[in-house]
Structure 1
Amino acid sequence: MTKSPKETLKDPVTGKPLPKGVWYRGPGQYQARRMVNGKRHRETFASASLARRWLQDVRAKAHVGQLEPPACKRNQITFGELFERFGRERMTERDADRMGHLPGWKTAP
């Protein structure tokens, strides 16, 4: 039996309808998404109520012009820095590789 569109918009945990812009992704995973000035803002939360609060906060900040563009949350690190760190932390016993392979990778075009 297929579900109707209205059934898919309900929270399977509470049975309440999910707010617009919130999706149930799995156990303890609710994704909230909002498009502001052509930029997609997206976060994942443990509950639908937290996702709803975040959406309200994003709407309020966008209304007053305080919303910053979404940024990548990962560390901004270059490949050279990554190879140096990998050599220091993971290849301490492999002197031949640290002296031979890693410098070659860093200088490759």
Structure 2
Amino acid sequence: MGDVFKALADPTRRAILDELTDRDGQTLFELCARLVGRHGLTSSRQAVSQHVDVLEAAGLVTRRREGRYTFHHLDTRPLRALLDRWPQPPPPQEQV
């Protein structure tokens, strides 16, 4: 669970997750281009790759290799596990 919080603590990693939410299954090249174009982030391809590694270690991103391309996919199960750990309490009842 600590890996998830560490992964979410960085704004570049959150932007990567936003991009995968918007369009799942992107290559590293596509992610880099969208981070520059939509978020103004000028991280190198190597830096973005390292961010993706952290997200993968936290279970938030999976990779699928197809030929010479690697596609990145969002996996929200670790986020659901966090929500399941602390369920929403029922709203307080108004007393009449």
- The two structures have a TM-score, normalised by structure 2, of 0.27
- Larger RCO, structure (CA 8 Å, separation 6 or more): 2
Quick check: which has more Rg, 1 or 2? Answer: 1
**Which structure has greater strand proportion?**
1
